[in-house]
Amino acid sequence: MQLARFDVDLFLRDYWQKRPLLIRNPWAAWRNPLEPDELAGLACEEGIESRLITREADRLSVESGPLPEDRFARLGSDPWTLLVQAVDHHAPDVAALIDPFRFVPNWRIDDVMVSYATDGGGVGPHYDQYDVFLIQGLGKRRWRVGPQCHSATPLLPHDDLRLIADFEASEEWVLEPGDILYVPPCYAHDGVAVGDDCMTYSVGFRAPSRAELVQHWAEHQADGLLDEDRYADPDLTPQDNPGEISGIAIDRLHGLVMEALSDRTAFARWFGAFTSQPKYADADWRPEEPVGSGQVRALLAEGVPLSRNPASRFSFLRQEDGAVLLFVDGRCFDCTAEEAELVERLCAETALVVDPELAASAPAATLIETLVDQGSLAFEDGEE
């Protein structure tokens, strides 16, 4: 599915990470990509993150999946909501909802969460730390949007949900099938189903926090440092008070730390691998037996299409002289200029037919063989 009426440049200039936007059915032809029964089935499976939120009086309760198959039959008449994460990893038509939003870089894309709610169902007023496009799939949902929140925003006491204590809406809309609501990070919002069979697809994005980057980058660098790489002061002189930490010592200590963390080239390589780590590793496409270079070359020569594992993350970084670094599922691959075009296509397309002439390229064939063996790619006529 593609957006027929949507100005990407205008959106990025005036709305992205700035203010909410209601987009009335911009699709060429909207079609709900998943049936409610299919979503319920996913919520019953091991390894799939799901939550059932029920309401009794004014209290919301949360049950984590996998849910028993008879759980839905035992639900009463009170409103309830089912949330299932990363449905795009299991339903190709849901994964296709991401494609119209790929004007945002791959490394920023998180997953597609799908919710189903009965009349009056919702998760309460809350805010998220990330951008989200809320696509109405079936039925209707009333969305109310309030001001930006922050860490000091008062929350209601709840063990499982971050509910805003004093939510005041400034805008309100009822979304129908095909409508989209964009909500930037930290904006308060509350969605309530209007009638039964309400399905919403949340195309979410991610942004690492400064704390997360500092913690993981520092840990990565520390792992590679030698134990004998220590503070030294061969020019030490007596000081008036032995209890003083001198400014000279602080300068040296600070320099030790900053020198270890300031290598931009090393940071770029680390970040590409770090941010490409799969969020859910259960979608395992690894073949039972290694695919073998001969089979890879034969399939490439025949023009057999390749598909990306929807749980895998692909990004690349340009280097000097046309070389590129390819990042896939937490690994970094040093690729030559000869492989650059292939790498760019692998990162831009979820399914592709590789130029059969690449079957004669040892680096390209080896790269594809490695990605197939690690479960990031699969030939469409092969076993996943």
Burial of 26 (0-12, 13-18, 19+ CB in 10 A): middle
Eight-class DSSP state of 152: T
Amino acid at the residue 142: R
Tokens of 3: 């957006």
Angle between helices 293-301 and 362-373 (to 10 degrees): 110
Cα–Cα distance for residue pair 333/340, rounded to 1 Å? 11
The third-level CATH classification (topology) of the domain covering 8-205 is Jelly Rolls (2.60.120)
Q: Where are the domains of the chain?
A: 8-205, 210-231+244-262, 293-379
Cα–Cα distance for residue pair 358/342, rounded to 1 Å? 9
Please give the model's pTM, rounded to 2 decimal places. 0.92
Amino acid at the residue 164: I
Strand partners, 303: none
Tokens of 80: 């309830």
Amino acid at the residue 241: N
Are 16 and 8 in contact by the 8 Å Cβ rule? The answer is: no
Tokens of 121: 């169902």
Cα–Cα distance for residue pair 221/212, rounded to 1 Å? 14
Are 31 and 178 in contact by the 8 Å Cβ rule? The answer is: no
Q: If you search the block for the tokens 């998943």, which residue do you land on?
A: 34
CATH of 293-379, one of 3.40.50.300, 3.40.50.410, 3.40.50.920, 3.40.366.30: 3.40.366.30
Q: What is the pLDDT of residue 194?
A: 98
Cα–Cα distance for residue pair 115/325, rounded to 1 Å? 37
Strand partners, 140: 194
Cα–Cα distance for residue pair 260/224, rounded to 1 Å? 10
Question: From first to last of its 384 residues, what are the pLDDT tens digits of the chain?
Answer: 789 999 999 999 999 999 999 999 999 999 999 999 999 999 999 999 999 999 887 789 999 999 998 999 899 888 999 999 999 999 999 999 999 999 999 999 999 999 999 999 999 999 999 999 999 999 999 999 999 999 999 999 988 899 999 999 999 999 999 999 999 999 999 999 999 999 999 999 999 999 999 999 999 999 999 999 999 999 999 999 999 999 999 999 999 999 999 999 999 999 999 999 998 866 789 999 999 999 999 999 999 999 999 999 999 999 988 999 999 999 999 999 999 999 999 999 999 999 898 888 999 999 999 999 999 999 987 444
Strand partners, 133: 182, 203
